[in-house]
Amino acid sequence: GQQVMQIPQYQHVQEGEDFTTYCNSSTTLSNIQWYKQRPGGHPVFLIQLVKSGEVKKQKRLTFQFGEAKKNSSLHITATQTTDVGTYFCAGRAGGNNRLAFGKGNQVVVIP
């Protein structure tokens, strides 16, 4: 079945530094979504990418969808303590009825 892999699974990031988290699929995706889950909270939608090579920015967050629509990345600059949490990507293969979530990237921010 469709699988979405995220790397790394865990990251420790110094406050003020940048980091990137990656999402890879074995199949071509019709779209990719990113969610953030704060500790003790529930996943919250961040963004959706649909077009090949698409890049979207939200303040310090930059999201990218690969040209082949099989991978995606989330890059965060000048990390803040509020960035702590688990970041999930979720993708849908064309014709599939539901999203497949990755296992998430748990980010710990070191003050």
Q: Which of 43, 46, 21 is nearest to 33 (CA)?
A: 46
Question: Where does residue 88 rank: exposed (0-12), middle (13-18), buried (19+ CB within 10 A)?
Answer: buried
Single out the residue of 39, 42, 82, 111 in contact with other proteins (rule: CB under 8 A): 42
- 83: phi then psi, degrees, rounded to nearest 5: -85, -5
- Does residue 97 belong to the site contacting other proteins (CB under 8 A)? yes
- Does residue 33 belong to the site contacting other proteins (CB under 8 A)? yes
> Binding residues for other proteins, how many (CB under 8 A)?
22
The residues that touch other proteins, with contacts defined as CB under 8 A, are: 9, 30-31, 33, 35, 41-45, 48, 50, 88, 90, 92, 97-99, 101-104
